[in-house]
Every structure is written in C-alpha cells, then in structure tokens.
Amino acid sequence: MEWDSESEGSNGDEEEGFLLSGGSGGPFSFAVEGVLGPASSCGLVVSDALEPDHPIIYVNRGFEESTGYRAEEVLGRNCRFLQCRGPFAQRRHPLVDATIVSEIRRCLEEGIEFLGDLLNFRKDGSPLMNRLQLTPIYGDDETITHFIGIQFFTDTNVELGPLLSSAVKESARPNRLITEHVFRPVSLGHTHICREFCSMLQLSDEVLCQKIFSRLCPRDIASVGSVCKRLYQLTKNEDIWKMVCQNAWGSETTRALETVPGAKRLGWGRLARELTTLEAAAWRELTVGGAVEPSRCNFSACAVGNRVVLFGGEGVNMQPMNDTFVLDLNSSNPEWRHVKVTSAPPGRWGHTLSSLNGSSLVVFGGCGTQGLLNDVFILDLDAQSPAWREISGLAPPMPRSWHSSCTVDDTKLVVSGGCADSGVLLSDTHLLDVTMEKPIWREIPASWTPPSRLGHSLSVYDGRKILMFGGLAKSGPLRLRSSDVFTMDLSEDEPCWRCITGSGMPGAGNPAGIGPPPRLDHVAVSLPGGRILIFGGSVAGLHSASQLYLLDPTEETPTWRVLNVPGSPPQFAWGHSTCVVGGTRAIVLGGQTGEEWMLSELHELSLVSSIINVKEDD
C-alpha cells in the first residue's frame, strides 16, 4: 500500500484515485487501485472524520461491485449499513459479531488502526465476509480528518435462513462463519496486537508474560525460566522484571530506582540480582568542586533524586547555620552550590533532614541559637523558586537534638528519642502527617519503649515498619553505646516496639550472627526487599568505620551478616553527614579525616555496578 503524497496523477480519472485536500494544508492524493487487486473483490471507502457519525465521502468501483450499492446510495451515510441485511433492515444482523463492532468503534474513537473480519451484507441480502482495515488520515495540524477503509470481500456460505426471522433463532444456529482464523484485536495497554487464540500457552505471548509472570517472585520466575527454552526466553522480559521488582520492593523503591542513571542500562533483572546479592558493591572516592562556606560540622545531608542537599550545621564559633547547599551528582563536574532559598528556617545543628516523596525534604528539631527546637520545615527542591515552608503541627513533641527520624508513605514524619533540655534522654515516638490541611502530631503510645537514647537510626522497611538500631542508650545511671535492634509496625492498630530477639536491655539479647559493635551516629541504609545495611558511626575501640553489616528483619530468625566490599573505603562515616542516593549508593561526606568541613573529597558506596560517566539523559 503506498500513499503517494506527491503524485497528482489521479486528477483526470475518478475511477482510479481520489484527491483529498488536507484541511488547511495542501492537497494530497493517492492512487491505490492498482495495488488492491481485482476491483470486484476490493472496496475502498473514505469517510469524513470531522463530520458527525463519519459520513462516507467516497467509495470506489470495487465497493460498488462487491456490495451492490451504488455510490450515490451510500454517500453521506455511515458505513455500518453493511451490517444490516439488505437495504430495508433496520438493525444490525445478529450474526454480526458485536464485539468486533465495538472494537471498531473504539479504534475510531482512539484514532488507531483497526484490522479484523466482519460479516457484511450485499444489497440483495447475501452475506459477505469483509476483511476490513481502517486507517486514520491526519491533516496538517495532527488531527484526524478522514478514515480510510480497505475491504477485502469474500463470499461466505453462512446459513441465514429467511430474511425476517427472529434474532434468537438466528443465533441458535451453529456459528460456522467464525472460523479458526478470525482475528480479534487484543488490547494490552498501549499495544494493539491481533493474535489467534488457542490453547493456554499459545495465548499471545505478551498476555502470558506481562500478566501472569509479573505476579511471581524472583524465585518463581527462576523456576519458570528453567522449564523449557520458550519459557526461558519469555522470562527475559524487562517489563516482567520491573513488575517483579515492584512487587518485591514496593512501588516507591522502584520509582526511586528508575531515576538512577544507568539503572535502565543495567536492566531490572540485573538490578534485582545485584541489589539482592550485593555482588557488585564497591567503595570509591569522588572529588567534587565548589565549597560549603563558611565551614561547619554537624550539618545534615539528604538526597533528592541525584542531588545531595546539605542544611545547617555548627560553624567554627559554634554558631548554628541555616544555609542550604546542593551537590548535583548528575552533572559532569559536580560541585557544591549555595542555594538561594526564601524563608530559611532558624539555624541549627543536631537536627534531622529526611527525604519526603522524592522531591521534598523535611527538617525537624535540633539545637538553635535559642536552645532546642521542635519545629518542622519542608523544602521542595523541584519548585521554581525553592522555599522553606514551616509546617505548624499541633501538639509538637518536646524540643530535642540528636533524635532520629524517617518518613513513611511519602507523607508522614516519624521522630523518636533524642536529647532534651538539660541533657535528659528521650524514648518517645511521634508521627506527623505533613500533607494534611491542619497537621496534628500524634504520639505513638507504647506500653513499653526501648531505653531512651540519642544518635540511633530509624529505617523504614516493608512499607510501614520501622527499625531502630544502636545509639547512646540509658542503662541505669550510665549511658552506653548500643547495638540493639527494635522494630515497630505502624500499620497495626496499636503499634508496639518489639525486640528482634532477646531482652530489651541494652547490650543483652541481639539477633543471631556476628552483629556490629555498639555505636551511635552510624549510617543505616534501607535496601529494597527490607534489609538494613549498617556501617560507620562512633564505635568504641578500634573498629573499621566501613565494615558493613546486613540484617533482614523480615526473616524468621533475623541474622546479622558481614559484607566485605572492595575499593577505597572511608576512615569515618557519620549518620548525619551520609545520605543514600537513589537507593543504590551511599555518599559519605567528610570521611577522609573525620573533619566534616573537608567536603570536596567524598566516598561513595555503590551497591550496584556503577556505570562510569553515566548521565541521566543517556
């Protein structure tokens, strides 16, 4: 089929072609008769898509000869009259497959091509099989101006009975006209594919792959892929693996992973594997430009997409700072940049900065010029002019510093423990939905809480569960570094703290395996699938800051595992100055010397194969 938009050879011969003017643009013409074959079996119909009910504006000789209707009888009518048996029938004949008719209508509405077989009738009432192809024609401004129907008519010897019998009786006859080879357009989201429907495994491959396999977990996909060659091939589908990852890790995580440069190149299958085995994890050093000035320590770092954001901190004269810096790791030469934000929060250190919904950050608490704080500020880094916005929640928790926080459901801030005025350690847990019209803080009542502490970590796993690890915890009159693990399920009606194993006293009863030495201000990374990775922090004695410990709280018997990772690890890593970018790498600031004001040398723990020099638009 060729649409020759340049030739105008059809001018003089009405039978051979047709000249259409495309709206505001120039005319275009086409001549198809020669390609269609003997005129008597091939119809060509053009309808006007801009007029109501798509009236016919042209039919060719082949149409006239096949159907017995002359052009002047049909111009201006919708083509559906062919579904009525004869010129006097008022309704579509019941043997015409209604689903095909509906599909035609849908294709017309959506402006996409249709291909299928439809029962039609000549003017004399005799049945015709119409293999129909409908194609939209676009005018100059991308709107559809016409539809072209190409019809291959063949005789069919379906038994119809007398012309005026009732619908029920007609349909009760054995249906010989729908043969094995009737094509029914199958819509699968955005793709329209015509396939034969036979046995289960010959269901269109796309249906099998995307729908059924997408429900399986990785282990089941592996079983399916080991069955036979055909199924092995089918399980190699990227869309399936993406669904599998989403089912296993949740849609938040998969969404975040999608923004990681190089993730698409790696493919979801390989991503699933590498994030499970951590076989490609490695440390490397990064040098970046720019500067964070005036220099400071005890700031907070958090990532938004592929940008590291730094807020606040304690200056050289112990003054609390309130400026904001961004490091865009996507750029070819990442450098620290001071961000001009309107209405910055009061300066502070010892606060928490957490990521909310992938483009915003939320600050809570810390120590300011006037003492401890309990305010909440949000920054939308993707806004036109980023501005800090205060969230005034009713009944805020006690002001505090060196507490821990996390965000749940893209909407709720959870805050726990910390150090209050006069150095008292806290053990309470509070929750604030920042997206509500009038946010109200809610303390999570618990009949039992873990010993109060500061410098511990709160990680989210498995949707709405939180895991608390370590910190400097109250133990009688003393404060000891802790390596305890506690979890809480926020989706329960009455959430409560649970010890992973063993007793609740610091230092006693821990998960099985070789656990990390007790510590505070460490790094806790939530891995897809619910595992937590721990490293760094202030550890008593000579322990490597970069030794990695892995725990899966969803296991029957959670057990610590040690992970050895090659590369150039940092000497120091603090929780407040380390952030996780895209769920696949941890960026450690100030890890060379422990002095955080050296911010041009970074360390990166990459959890998946790092693709060198990858930019986001690749």
The binding site for another protein (CB under 8 A) comprises: 80, 90-92, 94-95, 97-99, 101-102, 105-106, 167-168, 171-173, 175, 178, 184, 186, 197, 199-201, 203, 207, 211-213, 215-220, 222-229, 231-232, 273, 276-279, 512-513, 550, 559, 561, 563
Residues of 516-553 as b/e, b for ≥16 C-beta within 10 angstroms? bbbbbbbbbbbbbbbbbbbbbbbbeeeeebbbbbbbbb
Closest CB to another protein among residues 53, 390: 53
How far is residue 287 from each of residues 291, 325, 333, 590, 592, measured CA to CA in Å? 12, 16, 9, 11, 12
- Give the separation between CA 574 and CA 585, rounded to whole angstroms: 15
Three-state DSSP class for 263?
Answer: helix
Q: First vs last Cα of the chain: how many Å apart? A: 37
Which residue lies nearer to another protein by CB, 270 or 284? 270
**310 within 8 A of 300, measured Cβ to Cβ:** yes
As beta bridge partners, residue 349 has 367
Torsion sign over Cα 424, 461, 591, 542: positive
Query: Of the two residues 215 and 340, which places its CB atom closer to another protein in the complex?
Result: 215
Contact predicate 255/528, CB 8 Å: no
Query: How far is it, in rounded angstroms, from Cα 2 to Cα 58?
Result: 18
The strand ranges marked E within 248-396 are 282-287, 289-290, 296-297, 300-304, 307-315, 320-328, 335-339, 352-356, 360-368, 371-380, 388-391
Min dist. Cβ of residue 56 to another protein (A): 17
Which is nearer to another protein, 325 or 461 (by Cβ)? 461
Residue 230 parent element (H or E): helix 229-234
Q: How far is the CB of 535 from another protein (least distance, A)?
A: 16
Nearest approach in angstroms of CB 103 to another protein is 8
Q: Using alpha carbons, list the distances in angstroms from residue 389 to 216, 343, 344, 378.
A: 43, 7, 8, 5
CB of 463 vs another protein, minimal distance in Å:
13
For residues 192 and 561, which CB has a smaller minimum distance to another protein in the complex?
A: 561
591: nearest Cα among 612, 575, 607 = 575
Nearer to another protein, 72 or 279 (CB): 279
Nearer to another protein, 21 or 359 (CB): 359
Q: Smallest gap, in angstroms, from Cβ of residue 134 to another protein? A: 17
Residue closer to another protein by CB (options 31, 271) is 271
CB of 195 to another protein, least distance (A): 11
- For 461, the token pair is 């796993």
Q: How far apart are CA 522 and CA 534, in angstroms?
A: 7
Compare residues 243 and 458 and give the one whose CB is closer to another protein: 243
Q: Toward another protein, which CB reaches closer, 276 or 571?
A: 276
DSSP category for residue 238? H
Nearest-angstrom CA–CA distance, 344 and 377: 9
Residue 396 is classified by DSSP as: P
CB of 520 to another protein, least distance (A): 26
Query: What is the rounded distance in angstroms from the CA atom of residue 323 to the CA atom of residue 338?
Result: 8
Q: Report residue 393 as tokens.
A: 């929640």
| Nearest distance in Å: CB 382, another protein | 20
Nearer to another protein, 218 or 250 (CB): 218
Nearer to another protein, 154 or 175 (CB): 175
Q: How far is the CB of 201 from another protein (least distance, A)?
A: 6
**Smallest distance, Å, CB 493 to another protein?**
9
Minimum CB distance to another protein, residue 371 (Å):
37
Write down the least CB distance from residue 226 to another protein, Å: 4
Q: What angle do CA 281, 285, 290 make, to 5 degrees?
A: 135
